[in-house]
């Protein structure tokens, strides 16, 4: 799966939230200053060429919708970070975040409970 640029990811976040939207609806969700219509339209077409979105015709325009699930992209992105920066070791990544973010014992216990819960699934 291809990586997204920051702008592409921002548009994808909106499409995941809205499920289906035209370019105007995407622009409405973007923060100020709003980008030009043509800019967002180009980003959506790039996302379509990368296989992240598809469209259906509605009147004279198009409704765009994600065909890659947010969770699927998130998993791929996290795995890429782990591979690039932590030599493929989730343990190293967790250790890094524990050291850098000064997690409390309570937070660590909550993380461990979540891991155990997901192991059972």
pLDDT digits 0-9 by tens, 51-77: 999 999 999 999 999 999 999 999 898
Is there a single domain that holds both residue 73 and residue 107? no
Q: What is the pLDDT of residues 97-120, one digit of tens each?
A: 778 777 777 887 888 788 777 766
Is there a single domain that holds both residue 17 and residue 33? yes
**What is this structure's pTM?**
0.77
Is there a single domain that holds both residue 83 and residue 109? no
In this prediction, residue 26 has a pLDDT band, given cuts at 50, 70 and 90, of: very high
Is there a single domain that holds both residue 80 and residue 121? no
Is there a single domain that holds both residue 28 and residue 72? yes
* DSSP per-residue letters across 32-85: SSPPPHHHHHHHHHHHHHTTSEEEEEETTEEEEEESS-HHHHHHHHHHHHHHHH
Is there a single domain that holds both residue 51 and residue 13? yes
Is there a single domain that holds both residue 40 and residue 97? no
Structural domain including 109 reads: 89-121
Share the mean pLDDT of the chain: 91
Is there a single domain that holds both residue 59 and residue 81? yes
Backbone angles phi, psi at 20, to 5 degrees: -145, 135
Indicate the number of domains in the chain.
Answer: 2
* Coil/strand/helix, residue 21: strand
The secondary structure element, H or E, covering residue 97 is helix 90-101
Is there a single domain that holds both residue 120 and residue 63? no
Predicted pLDDT of residue 81: 87
Is there a single domain that holds both residue 93 and residue 70? no
Is there a single domain that holds both residue 94 and residue 78? no
């Amino acid at each position: 799966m291809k990586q997204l640029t920051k702008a592409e990811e921002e548009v994808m976040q909106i499409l995941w939230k809205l499920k289906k939207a035209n370019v105007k609806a995407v622009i409405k969700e973007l923060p100020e200053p709003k980008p030009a219509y043509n800019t967002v339209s180009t980003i959506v077409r790039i996302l379509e060429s990368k296989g992240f979105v598809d469209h259906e015709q509605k009147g004279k325009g198009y409704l765009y919708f994600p065909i890659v699930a947010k969770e699927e992209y998130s998993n791929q992105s996290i795995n890429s970070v782990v591979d690039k920066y932590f030599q493929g070791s989730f343990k190293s990544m967790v250790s890094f975040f524990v050291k850098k973010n000064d997690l409390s014992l309570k937070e660590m216990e909550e993380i461990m409970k979540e891991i155990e819960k997901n192991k059972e699934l």
